[in-house]
């Protein structure tokens, strides 16, 4: 692994997608007046559009099938992440039905196809799920890989204790803070913060504690800080990800709703060398309460 940007991604088909009644703390998910077959038809179309656009933009994509009874399996970045020296971290998930998403052997095969050999596994879920302590992958943890800093917004799904364990394992500085939207803690850090190779997109307006430490760390990163508003956050402008592209150097991946909500920032991203790649994810965003970044589990090789 020699790049702060992932060369490829693992995606999970949304064949089990439905409104998850076990995740009420995700205030972004909504019920839609559609039957299950309609939801999955629309979601599969959106999924394929994103995957196709990534491949055509020079990003390697590997697929996993969704296990039965796993409504949020389309968001695989919450149950694993990969790191230097062949490290695979497996995370404890809050909702019982989300724990069905884990398919470690299939994942290892997909990662091998992408050129990543798993040499060590850090299993956090066996012990901590039973203790009621959770940390949901790169939903909970936003990594600045080149500066070796990890950011985490504390919530029921983001244990500060487990964030410290991961930071220590990786040799990263840990920046903890708290954020709220409509009086409820924001469930995942990657809703409000994205770290790219040259930028940090962040919604500071929702940070209720630890804002000074967060801003200081972002300033030290020497990345271009791109501030997003609460309305932009609600349109998933914080849930974006920069990936390495064999065709363009780098691509910035976002949903159509995020692209529409962004204004001058699109030109700023392009000026920073990012080719913008977008896809209509309306159904997945509404039903699942997550967007483009959540759908892409990074693979560095």
Residue 109 has pLDDT above 90, yes or no: yes
Q: Comparing 18 with 92, which gets the higher pLDDT? A: 92
pLDDT tens digits for range 266-276: 999 999 999 99
What's the pLDDT at 3? 60
Place 1 in a pLDDT band, splitting at 50, 70 and 90: very low
CA end-to-end distance (rounded Å), the chain: 5
pTM over 0.85, yes/no: yes
Average confidence score pLDDT of the chain: 95
Assign 3-state DSSP to the chain and report helix, strand, coil percentages, each to 5. Answer: 35, 25, 40
Tokens of 227: 């501030």
Torsion of CA 40, 43, 47, 49, to 10 degrees: 120
Sign of CA dihedral 137, 142, 144, 148: negative
Give Cβ neighbours of residue 117 (< 8 Å, ≥ 6 apart): 86, 111
Q: What is the mean pLDDT of the segment spanning 151-179?
A: 98
**Residue 144 pairs with which residues in a beta bridge?**
149
Q: Which residues of 62-101 are buried (b: 16+ CB within 10 A; e: fewer)?
A: bebebbeebbbbbbbbbbbbbbeeebbbbbbbbbebbebb
Residue 82 to residue 120: CA distance in whole angstroms:
10
Residue 133 to residue 13: CA distance in whole angstroms:
28
Residue 182 has pLDDT above 70, yes or no: yes
Place 2 in a pLDDT band, splitting at 50, 70 and 90: very low
Residue 212 has pLDDT above 70, yes or no: yes
pLDDT tens digits for range 249-297: 999 999 999 999 998 899 999 999 999 999 999 999 999 999 999 999 9
What's the pLDDT at 22? 87
Q: Nearest 5 degrees, angle CA 28-CA 139-CA 235? A: 35
Place 27 in a pLDDT band, splitting at 50, 70 and 90: confident
pLDDT tens digits for range 35-78: 888 999 999 999 999 999 999 999 999 999 999 999 999 999 99
Q: Which CATH architecture has domain 8-299?
A: 5-stranded Propeller (3.75)
Place 21 in a pLDDT band, splitting at 50, 70 and 90: confident
* Gyration radius from the chain CA atoms: 17
Tokens of 23: 């995740």
Residue 264 to residue 237: CA distance in whole angstroms:
13
Whether the Cβ atoms of residue 23 and residue 72 lie closer than 8 Å to each other: yes
Residue 208 has pLDDT above 60, yes or no: yes
- Residue boundaries of the structural domains of the chain: 8-299
Ordered alpha helix ranges (H), the chain: 36-56, 104-113, 125-128, 137-140, 160-170, 211-220, 230-234, 256-261, 264-271, 282-288
What's the pLDDT at 47? 98
Q: For the residues of 76-144, what is the DSSP string, one character each?
A: GGGTEEEEGGGEEEE---SSGGGGGG--HHHHHHHHHHTT----EEEE-HHHHTTTT--B-HHHHEEEE
């Amino acid at each position: 692994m020699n790049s702060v940007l992932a060369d490829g991604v693992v995606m999970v088909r949304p064949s089990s997608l439905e409104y998850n009644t076990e995740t009420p703390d995700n205030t972004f998910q909504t019920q839609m007046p559609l039957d299950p077959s309609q939801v999955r038809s629309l979601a599969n179309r959106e999924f394929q559009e994103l995957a196709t656009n990534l491949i055509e933009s020079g990003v390697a994509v590997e697929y996993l099938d969704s296990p039965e009874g796993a409504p949020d399996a389309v968001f695989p970045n919450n149950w694993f992440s990969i790191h230097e020296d062949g490290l695979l971290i497996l995370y404890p998930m809050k909702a019982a039905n989300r724990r069905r998403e884990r398919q470690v052997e299939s994942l290892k095969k997909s990662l091998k196809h992408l050129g990543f050999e798993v040499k060590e596994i850090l299993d956090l879920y066996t012990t901590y799920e039973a203790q009621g302590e959770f940390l949901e992958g790169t939903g909970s943890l936003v990594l600045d890989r080149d500066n070796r800093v990890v950011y985490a917004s504390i919530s029921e799904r983001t244990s500060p204790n487990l964030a410290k364990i991961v930071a220590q394992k990786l040799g990263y500085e840990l920046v903890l803070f708290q954020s709220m939207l409509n009086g409820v803690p924001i469930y995942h850090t990657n809703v409000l913060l994205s770290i790219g190779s040259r930028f940090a997109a962040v919604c500071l307006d929702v940070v209720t504690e630890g804002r000074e430490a967060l801003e200081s760390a972002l300033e030290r990163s020497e990345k271009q800080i791109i501030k997003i508003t609460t309305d932009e956050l609600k349109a998933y402008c914080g849930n974006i990800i920069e990936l390495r592209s064999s065709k363009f150097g780098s691509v910035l991946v976002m949903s159509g709703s995020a692209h529409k909500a962004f204004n001058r920032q699109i030109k700023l991203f392009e000026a920073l060398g990012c080719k913008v790649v977008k896809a209509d994810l309306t159904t997945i965003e509404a039903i699942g309460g997550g967007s483009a970044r959540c759908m892409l589990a990074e693979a560095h090789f």
